Amino acid sequence: MNVAAGGKRPKISAEEMERRRKVIYNSIRSNCIAGARHDPRIDPVLEAFIAGEFDVTELVSRAKQALA
């Protein structure tokens, strides 16, 4: 059984978590290829997204808050 951060049961399936992890990894890689640098301050936001704590509609606003 996969367990999200904090010992809670994940809100999404293991398959969805893996899909989200790949999407985030590929996005970071693509941005780096384009010359953007990854800021580790958004890593907790990305991990929460991967764990299913919120959906993609909140991702940008939460990332911006983390960088503020």
Look at residue 13 in the predicted model and tell me its pLDDT.
Answer: 94
Reported pTM: 0.79
Q: List, for residues 42-66, the tens digit of each pLDDT value.
A: 999 999 999 999 999 999 999 999 9
The stretch 16-38 carries a mean pLDDT of 95
pLDDT the model gives residue 3 = 46
Indicate if the pLDDT at residue 4 is higher than 50.
Answer: no
Domain range summary for the chain, segments of one domain joined by +: 12-67
| Greater pLDDT, 1 or 27 | 27
Buried b (16+ CB within 10 A) or exposed e, 12-37: beeeebeebeeebeeebeeeeeeeee
From residue 63, give the alpha-carbon distance in Å to each of 7, 9, 15, 29.
Answer: 23, 23, 23, 17
